[in-house]
Amino acid sequence: MPDGESRIQVETCLAELRTELTELGVPTATIRDQDGRACIEARDRWERALRIYVYVQFFWFVWGVSPGERHSVFRPGEAAVRLARMALDQGWPHEADQADVTRTFDRFLN
């Protein structure tokens, strides 16, 4: 898949998820991380940030390294509900190290 095409797919998926999260009351912004990857930065009730990435190779939204921290890009509404429940209830996990997310998937992206 050409790089431009995958970039468009990532941005489209992020836009769909961001719309869903915003409608559920989760503050979001679309940003680029330190490596230039597009992602959503979502804030929880304590104003802590969580970055949500799209890995088009796997068709996932990913916000952590465990299997429970990803969701199909084909169901952005379901992903948004899961994320909104966390953000608006207990908030993001304190121990979340999001650097692990990009390290885990770097081999698939480069």
Half-sphere exposure of 73 (CA within 13 A, CB side): 19
**pLDDT tens-digit series, residues 46-105:** 999 999 999 888 899 999 888 889 999 999 999 999 999 999 999 997 655 666 676 666
Phi/psi for 53 (5° steps) reads: -110, 165
* Beta strand segments in the chain, E: 28-32, 38-43, 49-55, 60-62, 70-72
End-to-end CA distance of the chain: 13
**pLDDT tens-digit series, residues 4-54:** 778 899 999 999 999 999 999 999 999 999 889 999 999 999 999 999 999
